[in-house]
A and B are shown apart, each in its own frame.
Chain A
Amino acid sequence: MKVKNLKIVLSFLFLIVVIGLFKLQVINYSYYCSLSKENRIRINPIIASRGDIYDREGNVLAKSRLSFNLAVIPQEAKKNETLLADLSSVVGISEKRLRNNLKRNTINYFVPAVIAEDIPRQQALYIEENNLNYNGAIIQTAPLREYLYEESLAHVLGYVSKLNAREYKKLKYYGYKAIDLVGRAGIEKSYNSYLKGEDGGFQVEVDNRGRRLRLIGYKKPQKGKDIYLSIDVGLQNYIYSLIEKKKGAVCVWNPNDGKILAMVSVPSYNPNIFINPNDEKNKEIRSIFSSPPENSPLLNRNIQAIYPSGSVFKIVTVMCGLETQAINKQSEFNCPGYIRLGKSLFKCWYRKGHGDQNAVLALKNSCNVFCYKVGLKVGIDNLSDYARRFGYGDCTGIDLPSEKAGLVPDRHWKQKLYNERWYDGDTVSLSIGQGYLQATPLQILRMASVIANGGYLVTPGLVNRIEDVNMGVGKIESCNFKMENLDTMGEGMDLVVSETGTGKRAQVEGINIAGKTATIQNPHGKTHAGFVCFFPYDVPEHAMVVFIEHGGSGGYEAVGIAQKIISYMKEEDII
């Protein structure tokens, strides 16, 4: 009887064992089967190199070079206590550091984790040759980004860096790996999906120590697509060397299709510091990220910095007067040096007054009073409408990330923001590009190009072609301006760069230049200098904006820099 009870108890225990076994082997079979495959089948990735970036002439701007990474199999490092110490003495990185890297980069106990990146070739070969002493260590090759022109092209090209943990979580379902590089700014960011290659790899059967037993499959890595920019690297570097020590932005393009020849923003940064950061580089990166936003080297001032437009806005005001027929080409206003509006006095920059001015002369002399009067005559509604037609207040649509839209003020906007009605004084300020108006240098260039190309808003673009596929030209929209009015404006701008004009310092022998200077009042110090121009005047092929912070009134510094750039372009046969 008692033995029988014992039998029942033991039978019950055996039943539990069988049920447990059934659950493991029959119910959860597929789960464990996949785990066993994961154990045994490993994919050794071959990282595809990123597409190269070239300028318009085919000069390399950014390329991938081969680098050697030291990786270890985490399981082996665990078994072989001295492995990391041994490797540390070869690569000269502290063991603690290697251990931290190992911890951070471990995905799976059998998948090699990179512990030192971009080690010198000699060290890599030494470790490969003495493989038996470093069991579990693996040398992997990986393409590494290299920017050949460092600071000069930083804002155009941007930079790449590895995914962070949060991004990896989001992107892993799209085939990204933790070690993948993504574009963080510039062309690298906006064309990331083209530049990014498709990784290949070996699928191998391995044993518990990660040793290859048998090749199961192979997929060839596919290099990313090469991108050819419209940039002229010689011009770009020249411009950078001119303004390196200043703060500001210069952009040169073709006013007819918006293809950018040069785009420089200073202060700049060296994008190579983001590639395989070490202590020194990290310090630089930290200092870049900790600088106040208005001084940040990461800021592309061409498209991300907004300023009051200054006197270049007079083009909009005068054009608005002509188009709405508030004035015609012959209409004259007298400039006594100021106008009185209620109790306030609005001065012209030329205290003595310009005397009688028509549209052409007002542009040439940058007469404030003429523009005040035109502005008051057309009214704020027309003025803001024309500012928008010239592309103010809206992104230019350039193929770079994080462009700013700027601001065109109007009645509604002011009511909403300040709960105040629009005053005539506001109109007067706006008519010379001061007050609430905010625009990026590129928007100003785009506005001036409307005069140059016969009334069209172009979409800026940096890319000529991707591999063999031509990018074409961005959207070109007609502003529906009258040709004769455009010609009047051109005439005025042409006179700006003449012996008696405000921009005479921009003159270059043999080239007829049309332009407009700008003084941008700056509440924090010396005025900013701006200059926008196009040339040759008769058949405009190039347009340029120069914007120098604290560059003095009347566009002083900007005009001088523009002159040098145009001379260079002439010398180099770019014009």
Chain B
Amino acid sequence: MMNFKDKNLSLPLTYFLIVIVGFLALYSASFSKGEINNAEYISHQLIWIVLSLIAILFVLIIGHRRLLDFSYVLYAVGILLLIYVILVAQPRLGAGRWVSFVGINIQPSELMKLIFILALARFLSSYKYQENGIKCIIVALILTGLPVLLIVMQPDLGTALVFIPVALSMLYVWGFRLRYIMLMFISAIAASPLLWFLLKDYQKSRLMVFMNPDADPLGSGYTIIQSKIAIGSGGFFGKGWLGGTQSQLNFLPEHHTDFIFSGIGEEWGFLGALLIIALFYFLIMRGLDLAMHASNMSKKLLATGVCVLIAMQVIINICMCIGLMPVVGLPLPYISYGGSAMIVFSVLIGILFNIKFEAQ
């Protein structure tokens, strides 16, 4: 059972700091021309934060092992939801990614991130690499490939791609040789041109825009140009909280969600952006410490999966905002507006807390 005595609180503290900073950023993003004009963003996000805390408590109470026990069932439900989304759901923002469930819109692909880590961790920890290597790897690849394929079909390339480094890291930690991982990685890159034919037009244009944002500055290139202007004009110290002209004057689209980091960079400058990155970095490194010292394989795999997922989302999201990567539509964990991602990532962090508290 949980042991609350003598616990090191650095991990939860970091998490709370990120949530608080994120809420401040969202608050500013809801401002426009000196007044709040998107009050529902703020109130909704507050509700999500409260629900997140409940979710974390829930995980702490039932423990990650119970979650692992249910992981295959959850996996099946998740896959069905993904199929349902492809077949039925209404396109929203150019792609059908949402499922309505008792009046709440949820994004199965976000949910799948959690389920997939649980399922893969459970599967891999039940076998030993030395005994059943090849067979396990084939099954693991199928476990990964199925949701990736379904999410690509939504189509949501960014979310799909984030599964791959997570799966590879977990396989690597489980015992898979680095050289095979490299081999798979290279063959994946070699196969990527084939992916071009699977892409929707808007995705192709996003990729083209990444290569040359000025080609269509009013259309697809607009966001990336405005985002770079926002971050770049923030400078070292930033324009001050609520002082960002790019986001406050609505030059920057989606500055609540995928591009919230651009607003942070503009208003808080390089210092503020560095603080956010440092918080995430600290969170991830502490999480990986847990993986390193974990008492069994399932904890090791879970901690690894959670940390790599958070790290990849943070890196990809920021790279997207500063123009180092194409626009793929991945939210910044705990900061971007949106319930599904908020709760899923909070459950993930809850699992880390649970592993940590058990270790103490």
Taking Cβ atoms with an 8 Å cutoff, the residues of A that contact B are 2-7, 10-11, 13-14, 16-18, 20-22, 24-26, 28-29, 31-33, 35-37, 39-40, 74-75, 78, 109, 205-209, 213
Return 6 A-B CB contacts under 8 Å, by A number.
A10-B307, A11-B285, A39-B246, A75-B218, A78-B219, A208-B251
Q: Determine the distance from Cα of A37 to Cα of B218 in the docked complex, in whole angstroms.
A: 18
Residues on A with C-beta less than 8 A from B273 are 21, 25
Q: Determine the distance from Cα of A207 to Cα of B251 in the docked complex, in whole angstroms.
A: 7
Residues on B with C-beta less than 8 A from A22 are 270
User: Which one of A36, A109, A207 lies within 8 Å of B230 (CB-CB)?
Assistant: A36
Residues on A with C-beta less than 8 A from B355 are none
A81 to chain B, nearest CB (A): 13
Residues on B with C-beta less than 8 A from A13 are 311, 315
- The count of chain B contact residues (Cβ–Cβ below 8 Å) is 47
Q: Determine the distance from Cα of A166 to Cα of B310 in the docked complex, in whole angstroms.
A: 53
A4 touches B292 (CB 8 A): yes
User: Which one of A16, A31, A75 lies within 8 Å of B232 (CB-CB)?
Assistant: A31
Q: Determine the distance from Cα of A85 to Cα of B257 in the docked complex, in whole angstroms.
A: 33
B172 touches A35 (CB 8 A): no
B218 touches A36 (CB 8 A): no
A21 touches B231 (CB 8 A): yes
User: Which one of A3, A16, A29 lies within 8 Å of B233 (CB-CB)?
Assistant: A29
Q: Is B277 an interface residue (CB 8 A)?
A: yes
Residues on B with C-beta less than 8 A from A75 are 218
B303 to chain A, nearest CB (A): 8
B250 touches A36 (CB 8 A): no
List CB contacts (< 8 Å) of B281-338 with chain A.
281, 284-285, 288, 291-292, 300, 304, 307-308, 311, 315, 318-319, 322-324
A26 touches B315 (CB 8 A): no
A208 touches B311 (CB 8 A): no
Residues on A with C-beta less than 8 A from B311 are 10, 13-14
Q: Determine the distance from Cα of A109 to Cα of B253 in the docked complex, in whole angstroms.
A: 15
Residues on A with C-beta less than 8 A from B250 are 207-209
Other than A14-B315, A17-B318, give 12 A-B pairs with Cβ distance below 8 A: A5-B172, A11-B281, A14-B311, A21-B274, A24-B322, A25-B265, A32-B229, A33-B233, A33-B235, A36-B245, A36-B246, A109-B218
A40 touches B288 (CB 8 A): no
B270 touches A25 (CB 8 A): yes
B81 to chain A, nearest CB (A): 30
B233 touches A21 (CB 8 A): no
B6 to chain A, nearest CB (A): 24
Residues on B with C-beta less than 8 A from A74 are 218
A32 touches B233 (CB 8 A): yes
Q: Determine the distance from Cα of A21 to Cα of B269 in the docked complex, in whole angstroms.
A: 10
Q: Contact mask B238-252 → A, CB, 8 Å, 1/0? A: 000000011001110
B173 touches A2 (CB 8 A): yes
User: Which one of A5, A28, A206 lies within 8 Å of B249 (CB-CB)?
Assistant: A206
User: Which one of B222, B228, B284, B300 lies within 8 Å of A10 (CB-CB)?
Assistant: B284
B229 touches A36 (CB 8 A): yes
Q: Determine the distance from Cα of A520 to Cα of B245 in the docked complex, in whole angstroms.
A: 75
A213 touches B218 (CB 8 A): no
B interface majority secondary structure: helix
B284 touches A2 (CB 8 A): no
- Report the nearest B residue to A78, measured CB to CB: B218
Q: Determine the distance from Cα of A13 to Cα of B277 in the docked complex, in whole angstroms.
A: 11
- Report the nearest A residue to B225, measured CB to CB: A35
A24 touches B249 (CB 8 A): no
List CB contacts (< 8 Å) of B178-211 with chain A.
178
List CB contacts (< 8 Å) of B89-140 with chain A.
none
Residues on B with C-beta less than 8 A from A26 are 235-236, 270
B140 to chain A, nearest CB (A): 16
Beyond A17-B277, A78-B219, is A32–B228 a contact (Cβ under 8 Å)? yes
Residues on A with C-beta less than 8 A from B178 are 5
Q: Is B33 an interface residue (CB 8 A)?
A: yes
Q: Determine the distance from Cα of A206 to Cα of B274 in the docked complex, in whole angstroms.
A: 30
A24 touches B231 (CB 8 A): yes
Q: Which 4 A-B pairs have the closest CB atoms?
A: A32-B232, A36-B233, A208-B250, A25-B270
Residues on A with C-beta less than 8 A from B218 are 74-75, 78, 109
Which one of B219, B226, B233, B292 has the greatest number of beta carbons of chain A within 10 Å?
A: B233
Q: Determine the distance from Cα of A424 to Cα of B226 in the docked complex, in whole angstroms.
A: 81
B236 touches A29 (CB 8 A): yes
Beyond A14-B277, A78-B218, is A208–B232 a contact (Cβ under 8 Å)? no
Residues on A with C-beta less than 8 A from B269 are 25
Q: Is B169 an interface residue (CB 8 A)?
A: yes
Beyond A17-B315, A25-B265, is A3–B235 a contact (Cβ under 8 Å)? no
Beyond A20-B324, A21-B274, A75-B218, is A32–B172 a contact (Cβ under 8 Å)? no
A3 touches B173 (CB 8 A): yes
B270 touches A14 (CB 8 A): no
Q: Determine the distance from Cα of A32 to Cα of B231 in the docked complex, in whole angstroms.
A: 8
Q: Is B217 an interface residue (CB 8 A)?
A: yes
- Report the nearest B residue to A214, measured CB to CB: B33
Beyond A20-B322, A24-B228, A207-B250, is A39–B245 a contact (Cβ under 8 Å)? yes
Q: Is B263 an interface residue (CB 8 A)?
A: no
User: Which one of A3, A4, A14, A16 lies within 8 Å of B281 (CB-CB)?
Assistant: A14
Beyond A24-B232, A213-B33, is A6–B265 a contact (Cβ under 8 Å)? no
A207 touches B285 (CB 8 A): no
Beyond A21-B265, A75-B218, is A3–B315 a contact (Cβ under 8 Å)? no
B233 touches A35 (CB 8 A): yes
Residues on A with C-beta less than 8 A from B213 are none
Q: Is B234 an interface residue (CB 8 A)?
A: yes
Q: Determine the distance from Cα of A78 to Cα of B277 in the docked complex, in whole angstroms.
A: 36
- Report the nearest B residue to A4, measured CB to CB: B292
B159 to chain A, nearest CB (A): 18
Residues on B with C-beta less than 8 A from A36 are 229-230, 232-233, 245-246
A308 to chain B, nearest CB (A): 61
B33 touches A21 (CB 8 A): no
Q: Determine the distance from Cα of A125 to Cα of B311 in the docked complex, in whole angstroms.
A: 58
User: Which one of B173, B226, B231 lies within 8 Å of A6 (CB-CB)?
Assistant: B173
Residues on B with C-beta less than 8 A from A33 are 232-233, 235
A115 to chain B, nearest CB (A): 16
Q: Determine the distance from Cα of A127 to Cα of B319 in the docked complex, in whole angstroms.
A: 44
Q: Determine the distance from Cα of A36 to Cα of B232 in the docked complex, in whole angstroms.
A: 9
A78 to chain B, nearest CB (A): 6
Residues on A with C-beta less than 8 A from B304 are 3, 6
A25 touches B308 (CB 8 A): no
- Report the nearest A residue to B319, measured CB to CB: A17
Residues on B with C-beta less than 8 A from A31 are 232
Q: Determine the distance from Cα of A209 to Cα of B288 in the docked complex, in whole angstroms.
A: 46
User: Which one of A10, A39, A78, A109 lies within 8 Å of B229 (CB-CB)?
Assistant: A39
B308 touches A6 (CB 8 A): yes
